[in-house]
Chains A and B, each alone.
Chain A
Amino acid sequence: MILLKDIRWVYQGADTAVLHGLDLYIRRGETVVLCGPSGSGKSTALRLMNGLIPFFHEGTLDGEVRVRGEPITDLAQVGRVTGTVLQHPRRQFFTDAIDTELAFALENFGTPPQRIRDRVGEVIAELGLADLTGRLRELSGGQQQRVACAAAITHGPPLLLLDEPTSNLSPRGIADLTAILRHLREQGVTLVIAEHRLHYLRELADRIVVLQDGRVGREWTRAEFAGLTDEMLREEGLRGLDAPGRAGVAPAFAYGPSVEPGESRPRETAPAGEAGERAGVATAPGPGAGGAGVALRGIRCAFGGRPVLDIAEAHLPAGVITAVTGPNGAGKTTLARILAGLQRHAGQVLLDGRPLSRSRRQRACAIVMQDVQRQLFTDSVTAELRLGTTPDHAEHAAAVVADLGLDGLGDRHPLSLSGGQQQRLVVATARLSGSSIVIFDEPSSGVDRRHLQSMTRTMRDVAANGAVVVLISHDADLLALAADQELRLCPLR
């Protein structure tokens, strides 16, 4: 199905080759996982298979690429026989409704209208999308990724390429995606998946290919893969094979309609009055709302009259990492924006017992956003680290930079760094900002095991300096490593 032979690829303007001596053959109907450390060339290999290299990304390519026995001549030609799913489904949608998004490729390839309508109906039924209502941008991340998969296969390509498709998905979203991939596999579709998270692929993959320094470092069959120990995976820089549990994570002190009670959590014991009676109660045997850290009182927020967050009371203590979890639409990002003073709301936010206005919260808070390019303002890594760094924290700059693998990049323009390096740079600026509240919003998408650990160390350092650390994440690996307590939110009904 796919042949990559002695590939060497250098992106335009780059000094080193991303792929160097890559040889890979993928058979028809096979499910192959490409894994490896950040920067090992997983995404680049996928771009070779769908022709984005060299027809979209510029650079120098040597070697032979064949898809279904043919060399790639243009994007539309290879687009007819491949479907591609990217990390962020929302960015790749061209329309805002399921049927038009599914019809998009068929329309562009000139399929007759009646055939398009029939095929769109077939795929909606086949992938169970009929229960999804509303506009695409209003669906959860997992639902959007299901639609992205459907849009990639509606024109019937025999090959589906997925680039870290679970990086922004909750466990439920991963389960949904796994079911779709299993179904496609049974239909005979060849699947190539570049991925850091491996646990959901254990029963799915026929072959696991570990890329290292731009070439194939190791290959395992499914049976060999299932028998690997965590130690062996760590040696390769790979994440674990088992979905990590968070049994030991204590629930945060919180109650209110937006707070999920949770089966393992003690039911509310203390809150009196109206808030306690409205259910949606979870609490911890932890500290009360009066200690150091952030206290939330009567926080309510609505968009266009529709309530999205309602927390009667919560305490996020200083010095520990509080994970904020829950499905899409539960109000995680809204809570982060309220903590950072970016969102209007009813109720009070207190820091160390004193009410903090929105503008003061903006000065007291640092956020590591999901799309870190929005936070890189200057023309060098050194200047970026200096911007907003207090003198007290500047002395730690060298240690933080080394720990996050940013050594020797001081003169580089932040936008010339890889995605992972950009993310770690923003994490470093948050670490050095000396802020009292530091929020990490999905900081681990596209991050390998080594950097997951260094990111956890950074969060722990921030917490150890007395800051309130809030971690918003779906990544079970990161939550298992980093979360000290968990505030689980649920959507309001």
Chain B
Amino acid sequence: MTGTTPQLGPATLAGTMPATPEGTATRWVLDPRTAVVLLLAASVTIMAPDGIWFVPAALVAGVLLAILERAWRRAIGLPLAAGAAAALTYLLPMAVPSPVFGLVGVLAGFALRLVAVGGIAAHLVRTIPPTRLIAALRSARVPMAFTVSGAVLLRFVPTIVAETRAVYDAMRLRGLGGWWAMLRHPVRSIEYFMVPLMASSLRAAGDLSASSLLRGLGSEARPTSMHPPRFGPADAVAAVVAVILAAATLLWRSGQ
């Protein structure tokens, strides 16, 4: 065996904490309850009839959240993606009147709404760890069936993405990947993709479930939180900005 044997004991590093206290909400991070309410409000408003009016407001909110999070790529990419979808929705059918481009315009309209909501959803996924989401929803008295399943979903999304990439790599190396193979044998290609994806994801899910259940997730005890969720100045600012954006949208709409 190589390497040195570390010396354990309180004398060496007593009382110090790691540098990444994920559970500690910093001052300018939204409380998960605020983020969830923002997301739900944006989704319901935008997906409702005439909801397209609220797309610019949601985009502004998404860009502001990305800037808050210092996710510069998203802050730039979000308006660009929305601009492209808007061009396909409004300009393409006007420039080339045809049923096909009309259909493309309708689909792009849906994409535009999804992009607008996606900006806020991305902030929630990227900044709120599963345990903080559980703690916040629990304090909002959301039933455990929703808190636990929501947190597990949040935890499991990156795993599914990683497994998808790995299975696609494995397919390429066995000569099963690529567009040509998929076009020639679409059903078989889907089978070759889905079977290992489900198997490896289920195995990862099994380990996670077993470990979580043994550590009391979903047990009868009333759970607590290392850092109980608390509203801060960021939440107040977010609420004010949301009201301003909604009011501006309503004024703009009545002016039209």
- A residues contacting B by CB (< 8 A) are 50-52, 56, 75-76, 78-80, 82, 84, 86, 88, 91-100, 103-113, 116-117, 120-122, 124-135, 151, 155, 170-172, 174-176, 178-180, 183, 199-200, 243, 337, 340, 342, 362-363, 365-367, 369, 371, 373-378, 387-388, 415, 429, 433, 476
- Known A103-B226, A179-B8, A374-B167: A84·B20 in contact at CB below 8 Å: no
Can you offer 17 A-B residue contacts whose CB atoms are under 8 A? A99-B22, A100-B22, A104-B215, A107-B131, A108-B218, A110-B221, A124-B16, A130-B18, A131-B13, A132-B18, A133-B19, A175-B2, A179-B5, A362-B172, A374-B167, A374-B196, A387-B174
Residues of A with C-beta under 8 A to B97 = none
Question: A94, A128, A134: which contacts B155 (Cβ < 8 A)?
Answer: A94
- Known A99-B21, A99-B226, A175-B1: A79·B214 in contact at CB below 8 Å: yes
B4 in the interface (beta carbon within 8 A): yes
Question: B12, B17, B209, B225: which contacts A107 (Cβ < 8 A)?
Answer: B225
Closest 10 CB pairs of A and B: A97-B22, A108-B216, A76-B219, A172-B3, A92-B211, A105-B215, A110-B221, A130-B16, A91-B207, A103-B226
Q: Which residue of B lies closest to A142 (CB)?
A: B3
Residues of B with C-beta under 8 A to A415 = 195, 199
Residues of A with C-beta under 8 A to B224 = 106-107, 110-113, 116
B203 in the interface (beta carbon within 8 A): yes
Question: A86, A132, A476: which contacts B211 (Cβ < 8 A)?
Answer: A86
Q: How far is the CA of A340 from the CA of B167 in the complex (A)?
A: 14
B48 in the interface (beta carbon within 8 A): no
Distance to closest chain A CB from B49 (angstroms) = 40
Distance to closest chain A CB from B92 (angstroms) = 33
Extra pairs beyond A128-B8, A373-B196 (20, CB < 8 Å):
A76-B221, A79-B215, A80-B216, A82-B214, A86-B207, A96-B22, A97-B20, A100-B226, A106-B226, A108-B219, A124-B16, A172-B3, A183-B8, A362-B172, A371-B200, A373-B203, A377-B171, A377-B192, A377-B195, A433-B174
Is A125 within 8 A of B170, CB to CB?
Answer: no
Q: How far is the CA of A104 from the CA of B208 in the complex (A)?
A: 13
Question: B3, B13, B18: which contacts A99 (Cβ < 8 A)?
Answer: B18
Q: Which residue of B lies closest to A100 (CB)?
A: B23
Distance to closest chain B CB from A80 (angstroms) = 7
Distance to closest chain B CB from A135 (angstroms) = 6
Residues of B with C-beta under 8 A to A365 = 173
Residues of B with C-beta under 8 A to A176 = 3, 5-6
Q: Which residue of A lies closest to B2 (CB)?
A: A171
Q: How far is the CA of A375 from the CA of B6 in the complex (A)?
A: 38
Residues of B with C-beta under 8 A to A109 = 216, 219, 221, 223
Residues of B with C-beta under 8 A to A378 = 192
Is B170 within 8 A of A91, CB to CB?
Answer: no
Distance to closest chain B CB from A131 (angstroms) = 7
Q: Which residue of B lies closest to A415 (CB)?
A: B199
Interface 1/0s, chain B 164-200, versus A by CB < 8 A?
0011011111111000000000000001100111011
Is A130 within 8 A of B217, CB to CB?
Answer: no
Interface 1/0s, chain B 1-41, versus A by CB < 8 A?
11111111110111111111111100000000000000000
Q: Which residue of B lies closest to A146 (CB)?
A: B6
- Known A100-B23, A121-B17, A135-B20: A79·B223 in contact at CB below 8 Å: no
B157 in the interface (beta carbon within 8 A): no
Residues of B with C-beta under 8 A to A111 = 224
Question: A112, A127, A178, A374: which contacts B163 (Cβ < 8 A)?
Answer: A374
Q: How far is the CA of A209 from the CA of B220 in the complex (A)?
A: 36
Question: B13, B131, B171, B209: which contacts A128 (Cβ < 8 A)?
Answer: B13
- B residues contacting A by CB (< 8 A) are 1-10, 12-24, 129-132, 135, 155, 163, 166-167, 169-176, 191-192, 195-197, 199-200, 203-204, 207-228
Q: How far is the CA of A112 from the CA of B225 in the complex (A)?
A: 8
Q: How far is the CA of A405 from the CA of B106 in the complex (A)?
A: 58
Residues of B with C-beta under 8 A to A112 = 224
Q: How far is the CA of A285 from the CA of B223 in the complex (A)?
A: 63
Is A172 within 8 A of B176, CB to CB?
Answer: no
Is B217 within 8 A of A94, CB to CB?
Answer: yes
Q: How far is the CA of A155 from the CA of B226 in the complex (A)?
A: 13
Is A340 within 8 A of B8, CB to CB?
Answer: no
Q: How far is the CA of A132 from the CA of B223 in the complex (A)?
A: 28
Is B216 within 8 A of A366, CB to CB?
Answer: no
Residues of A with C-beta under 8 A to B213 = 56, 75-76, 79
Q: Which residue of B lies closest to A242 (CB)?
A: B1
Is B18 within 8 A of A129, CB to CB?
Answer: yes
Is B200 within 8 A of A374, CB to CB?
Answer: yes
Q: How far is the CA of A178 from the CA of B20 in the complex (A)?
A: 26
Residues of B with C-beta under 8 A to A362 = 172-173
Q: How far is the CA of A98 from the CA of B176 in the complex (A)?
A: 40
- Known A79-B215, A183-B8, A375-B196: A100·B129 in contact at CB below 8 Å: yes
Is B1 within 8 A of A91, CB to CB?
Answer: no
Distance to closest chain B CB from A368 (angstroms) = 10
Distance to closest chain A CB from B17 (angstroms) = 6
Q: How far is the CA of A342 from the CA of B172 in the complex (A)?
A: 9
Interface centre among A132, A180, A415, by most chain B C-beta atoms within 10 angstroms, is A415
Distance to closest chain B CB from A76 (angstroms) = 3
- Known A128-B12, A128-B13: A95·B20 in contact at CB below 8 Å: no
Question: A50, A76, A94: which contacts B131 (Cβ < 8 A)?
Answer: A94
- Known A92-B211, A94-B217, A199-B1: A340·B199 in contact at CB below 8 Å: no
Residues of A with C-beta under 8 A to B210 = 52, 56, 84, 86, 92
Q: How far is the CA of A273 from the CA of B218 in the complex (A)?
A: 62
Q: How far is the CA of A342 from the CA of B135 in the complex (A)?
A: 40
Residues of A with C-beta under 8 A to B217 = 94, 104, 108
Q: Which residue of B lies closest to A387 (CB)?
A: B174
Distance to closest chain A CB from B69 (angstroms) = 15
Q: How far is the CA of A172 from the CA of B2 in the complex (A)?
A: 6
- Known A103-B226, A128-B12, A183-B8: A369·B3 in contact at CB below 8 Å: no
Residues of B with C-beta under 8 A to A388 = 174-175
